[in-house]
Amino acid sequence: MITEEIKIDLTEIGAKKSRDSIKSLFREKGIAFQELHDFWSNFEKNENDVADNAIVFSDLHSLVKHVRNISHENWAYRVKKRNPYFILFIRNNRDEKLADLIDDLLKASYNRLTVFNTTHFSGKKSQRKKFIDEINNIVLRNYNPDAIKFVSVNKKNQSFLVEFIDGDYGEVSFKDLHFEDLVDQLLLDSLKINDKGNSIEIFTKDGEIFDIDSVVLKSLISSDIKDDIKKQTQLTADNVGKRLSLARKKRGVTQKELSELTDIDQAIISKIETGKHLPRFDTLERIAKGLDLSVSELLIID
């Protein structure tokens, strides 16, 4: 949950209409914000913390100008220290001529940068919605303290190394997550953070997505509450699994048939039923639909 105002800087957006439109997007999504007017002066001078954690809107050519004024090496240092996120627009020929620099800018900015081509969404409702959703995802991914900032897999230790936006980090073992015996079904090299930063996703060998919620991961890196959370998680997973198994059998449906009805890998259904995997709500919705039930009916069935 995002509890603080998001700092935004629109000084590089010349047209008032465009600035007002961007601010309306934040209001439309219910995102509180504080508009800055001195981000660039503080960022380039490397002074105080007014520039910290801001979302900065700019045309591509304007950002390139700032990078050149600072130099790549100092730019990367300041991005790391101040942690801004840059949203860039390609609007005209000046911007298009610099498109080849985007990969370098991404690396120098630690991937804290998104580029939009305005010709792709200008005046189209569907594209505008796509733009609004992406802004919302950027905010959730970068300013929710429980969002995942970085994740990697240690195959030797059978664990994940996870870092969160608020600075928390630690290692979570496959055993903690109760799927150590599912590892053979996972393509660990496909590991990625989802668009909203609230889970990690791994493809199975059958093309399904196996996801792990960020809140579960964050809970498990705290040694003080780790054992308690594990017990609570296991209990919840056991309860869900028992109800699913009972509902499936009452409908006279095999695990294989349920897999075909829901497009969920049979191995994952088996893990859910045995309490070894706690599914997300959207997965429960798919299972319930496959059994011609609502989620509430699935979870309270006797």
* Claim to verify: residue 139 and residue 198 sit in the same structural domain: no
What is the C-alpha to C-alpha distance for residues 159 and 149, in angstroms, rounded to an integer?
A: 17
CATH number at residue 240: 1.10.260.40
Same domain, 131 and 161: no
What is the domain extent for residue 251? 226-300
pLDDT tier for residue 11 given thresholds of 50, 70 and 90: very high
In a domain, 1, yes or no: no
Q: Is residue 192 part of a domain?
A: yes
Handedness of CA 39, 63, 110, 56 (dihedral sign): positive
DSSP helix/strand/coil, 98: coil
Residues 19 and 64 in one domain: yes
**Assessment of whether the complete model's pTM goes beyond 0.85:** no
Say how many domains are in the chain: 3
> Would you say 273 and 237 are in contact if contact means Cβ atoms under 8 Å apart?
no
On whether both 137 and 16 belong to a single domain, the answer is yes
Structural domain includes residue 166? yes
Residue 284 belongs to some domain of the structure? yes
Mean pLDDT of 1-10: 77
What CATH number did the domain enclosing 32 receive?
3.40.50
Is pLDDT larger for residue 248 or for residue 127?
A: 248
- With a pLDDT cut of 70, the percent of the chain lying above it is 87
Structure tokens at 21: 């439109």
Q: Is the domain of 117 the same as that of 46? A: yes
